[in-house]
Chains A and B, each alone.
Chain A
Amino acid sequence: MFNNFFHKMASPKYFYRISGKLIPWFAVPCLLLTLAGLYYGLVEAPTDYQQGDSYRIMFIHVPAAWMSLFIYMVMAGAGAIGLIWRIKLAEIVSISSAPIGAWFTFLALITGSIWGKPMWGTWWVWDARLTSELILLFLYLGVIALYSAIDDKRTAARATAILAIVGVVNIPIIHYSVEWWNTLHQGPTVTKFDKPSIHISMLIPLLLMALAFKLYYAFVVLMRARCELLERERHTGWARELTEEK
């Protein structure tokens, strides 16, 4: 039975249909969580005693930075699955993740920069955290460029998967950079083994936004994957049947 399920899920036609139905189930909760997160983050959460109201940038900066790492791991993981088992859908999920991850990395960098200006007195420092996150952006862009440079999409997917897997080495560097090196960037306040050093009134909007961003990624990657799938399979029977149904 399970074999049958995976076989069905891996069939492009079936994936296309199911993913289309799944999108609103991620998009609507995403919108609701975003609205709740914005309300608690911008209205309910108290002003920080050190950073004033500038710290409210955290509610998008931190979830965006988390997403930049999370999406990279999904991209590399799906790439590895595609590489080993030659599953076309894994390749597609992997490559569809790249632009979304790049955008979240961009957001983490730009909101961090805007937060850094009033708090650190500078838009940018070449410290370990910021530099390794910038390298992450270049890795994403490298994956996108490599994929579009190779005409045969199956070959392209294999090449980008290898690049993505090699780039995984950057992920722990980003995560631990604030502990390994001296930096202006503050240390982790949530992902610590002991109690998080963040007040519950600020933790709640942060987690709401983080969950909203996860759901956002879930439905946007499905949207992109459907496009990529359709593009690759446009000459097959099911893609044509699809347009005749309407």
Chain B
Amino acid sequence: MNLNEFFHMGGYGSYVWTSYGITLVVLLLNIILPARQHRKLLADIARKARRAGRKP
């Protein structure tokens, strides 16, 4: 099997690759967004703690 045939998928290439593409994007987003939220939360908590610490 050559690469062209592989991407062609017997004429169903656009259907198959769209499905896999959407799935990849959704699954990656569901990792990236919580990771980003986590980082933000930690930074936020640290900032508030520092501010509270400065005041006697």
The total of Cβ contacts below 8 Å across the A-B interface reads: 86
Which range contains the number of A residues in contact with the other chain? 35 or more
Cβ contact within 8 Å between B38 and A223: yes
**How many of chain B's residues have a CB under 8 angstroms from any CB in A?**
28
Residue from A57, A64, A234 within 8 A of B16 (CB atoms): A57
Q: Nearest Cβ distance between residue B53 and chain A, in whole angstroms?
A: 9
Cβ contact within 8 Å between B45 and A54: no
Within the assembled complex, what's the spacing in Å between the Cα atoms of A64 and B20? 12
Within the assembled complex, what's the spacing in Å between the Cα atoms of A106 and B27? 11
Cβ contact within 8 Å between B20 and A53: no
Residue of A nearest to B11 (CB): A52
Cβ contact within 8 Å between B42 and A111: no
Residue from B30, B45, B46 within 8 A of A220 (CB atoms): B30
Q: Nearest Cβ distance between residue A185 and chain B, in whole angstroms?
A: 16
CB pairs A–B below 8 angstroms (10 shown) = A53-B11, A53-B12, A54-B12, A111-B19, A111-B22, A111-B23, A114-B19, A118-B15, A234-B48, A244-B46
Residue ranges of B at the interface with A (Cβ–Cβ < 8 Å): 1, 6, 9-12, 15-16, 18-20, 22-23, 26-27, 30-31, 34-35, 37-38, 41-42, 44-46, 48-49
